[in-house]
């Protein structure tokens, strides 16, 4: 298998300097030019589909059906950001006219605008080789915001990273833009990522990956002489609360749906459900039985790499044999693919053992049996910040459901009342980010069109000349 050779310190410095040199021109380029580049990148991806999907499947084992869909999603979001630019979303303006007189009633004219922050360091993810990689959402949103980008390729799909970057670089050149608009460095070594975050030209960072790696880079970003914002998506166990009403009405179908969400992509989704909260009643017991049967019938594919597989094996090993925990399903590996694991425990054991609240990246889930709504809320409050929380059966306006929704909103960035958390829509209303440690900044999203806001800094122009206001309106 091809591996990435670590970029040298000189190469990293050169890439960052090229991004810095190109940044002013790209920040002030007409919106139409950004639109053209984003659409051209989408076209290039889809034109090279067959070769790229073949490379991606060889390196990730994700399957051509999944990868074709992911390529289409990547192209969709590139075009989507282009449409947002055409609608003026990257140049928000709030204009307060002058008011004669002394403060506080009187004031000068103030015009609040947004400016690109500068070169962005983008760390590609392993589990989405198109949508969260070289031309994924972080790159697309940063380019749309008017920022140049230095990509840190992921070592899990090196050939694909190079192929996509070559396509992208050709698009940049064809538009007559400087190569510094989009640069890439590579390597599996920690020093590459650290050098990229430390480079003085870098103005912001975007990361999707492990808690350990993300926290280390976040600390580096904040330890710089000039700290920079670092938008990291780290880890999440995505609890699902299945209330008795929902399970009594549709328990078997919900169990089948949940099993698919736990095993899709071999459980290697940041939104994979890792904890399910049910009551100690007949409908819930039937649901858990169906869930175990559905998981037993699933056939996960091989994991992305040996490191992720080792982490999964260690994670499920920690759960087996813990006090108060029973293993309901522990399927053996099938060649290179791991089997699914399902555990059950009670609320008291879950609250007492922090290991039960740790993410296991792969097809594994812990069922927590509770007696009532009070114990349900205690379980949710014990869970650290998550990307999602799913509430089945909370449709009626009751005091208990209001308490449940408040608890879910306190720990998650997206609260679902139907469906499963895997599958993240790319849209203006999306929020893919939650409280620590799911992300380093719960106020932002890495999916959806609001992702541009991470790379735009507000500036108030006081009594600005007309030419400046007019120029912003015509860009």
Count of CB atoms within 10 A of residue 224's CB? 14
- Among 70, 220, 233, 453, the active-site one is 233
Does residue 16 carry a catalytic annotation? no
Count of CB atoms within 10 A of residue 164's CB? 31
Cα separation of 70 and 424, whole Å? 11
Which residues partner with 240 through β-bridges? 276, 390
Q: Which two tokens stand for residue 474?
A: 């015509």
Report the b/e string of 167-200 with b at 16+ CB within 10 A: bbeebbeeeebbebbbbbbbbbeeebbebbbbbe
Helix (H) or strand (E) holding 470: helix 466-474
Does residue 233 carry a catalytic annotation? yes
Cα separation of 123 and 221, whole Å? 13
Cα separation of 466 and 469, whole Å? 5
What SS3 state is found at 347? helix
Backbone angles phi, psi at 197, to 5 degrees: -65, -35
- Among 171, 270, 365, 386, the active-site one is 270
Cα separation of 167 and 333, whole Å? 38
What SS3 state is found at 191? helix
Torsion sign (Cα): 314, 320, 321, 324: positive
Residues annotated as catalytic are 233, 270
């Amino acid at each position: 298998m091809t591996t990435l050779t670590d970029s040298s310190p000189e190469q990293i410095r050169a890439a960052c300097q090229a991004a810095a040199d190109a940044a002013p021109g790209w920040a002030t380029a007409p919106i139409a030019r950004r639109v053209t580049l984003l659409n051209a990148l989408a076209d290039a991806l889809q034109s090279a589909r067959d070769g790229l999907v073949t490379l991606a499947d060889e390196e990730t084992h994700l399957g051509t059906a999944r990868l074709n869909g992911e390529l289409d999603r990547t192209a969709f979001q590139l075009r989507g950001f282009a449409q947002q630019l055409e609608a003026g979303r990257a140049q928000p303006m709030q204009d307060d006219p002058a008011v004669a007189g002394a403060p506080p009633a009187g004031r000068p004219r103030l015009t609040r605008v947004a400016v690109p922050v500068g070169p962005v360091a983008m760390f590609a993810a392993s589990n989405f080789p198109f949508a969260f990689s070289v031309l994924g959402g972080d790159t697309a949103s940063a380019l749309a915001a008017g920022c140049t980008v230095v990509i840190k390729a992921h070592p899990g799909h090196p050939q694909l990273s190079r192929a996509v970057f070559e396509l992208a670089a050709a698009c940049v050149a064809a538009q007559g833009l400087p190569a510094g608009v989009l640069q890439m460095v590579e390597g599996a070594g920690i020093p590459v990522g650290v050098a990229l975050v430390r480079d003085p030209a870098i103005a912001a960072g975007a990361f999707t990956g492990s808690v350990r790696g993300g926290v280390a880079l976040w600390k580096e970003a904040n330890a710089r002489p000039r700290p920079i914002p670092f938008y990291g998506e780290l880890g999440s166990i995505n609890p699902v609360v299945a209330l008795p009403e929902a399970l009594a009405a549709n328990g078997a179908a919900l169990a089948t749906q949940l099993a698919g969400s736990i095993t899709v992509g071999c459980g290697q989704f940041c939104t994979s459900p890792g904890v399910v909260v049910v009551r100690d009643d007949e409908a819930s017991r039937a649901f858990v039985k169906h869930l175990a049967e559905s998981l037993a019938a699933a056939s996960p594919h091989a994991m992305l790499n040996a490191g992720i597989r080792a982490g999964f094996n260690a994670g499920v090993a920690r759960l087996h044999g813990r006090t108060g925990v029973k293993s309901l399903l522990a399927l053996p590996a099938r060649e290179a693919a791991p089997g699914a694991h399902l555990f059950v425990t009670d609320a008291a054991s879950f609250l007492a053992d922090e290991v039960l609240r740790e993410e296991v990246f792969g097809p594994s889930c812990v069922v927590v049996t509770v007696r009532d709504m009070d114990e349900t809320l205690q379980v949710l409050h014990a869970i650290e910040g998550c990307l999602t929380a799913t509430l089945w059966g909370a449709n009626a306006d009751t005091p208990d459901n209001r308490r449940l929704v408040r608890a879910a909103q306190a720990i998650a960035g997206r609260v679902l009342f139907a469906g499963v958390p895997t599958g993240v829509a790319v849209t203006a209303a999306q929020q893919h980010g939650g409280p620590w440690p799911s992300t380093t900044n719960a106020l932002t999203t890495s999916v959806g069109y609001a992702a541009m806001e991470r790379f735009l800094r507000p500036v108030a122009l006081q009594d600005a000349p007309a030419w400046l206001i007019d120029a912003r309106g015509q860009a």
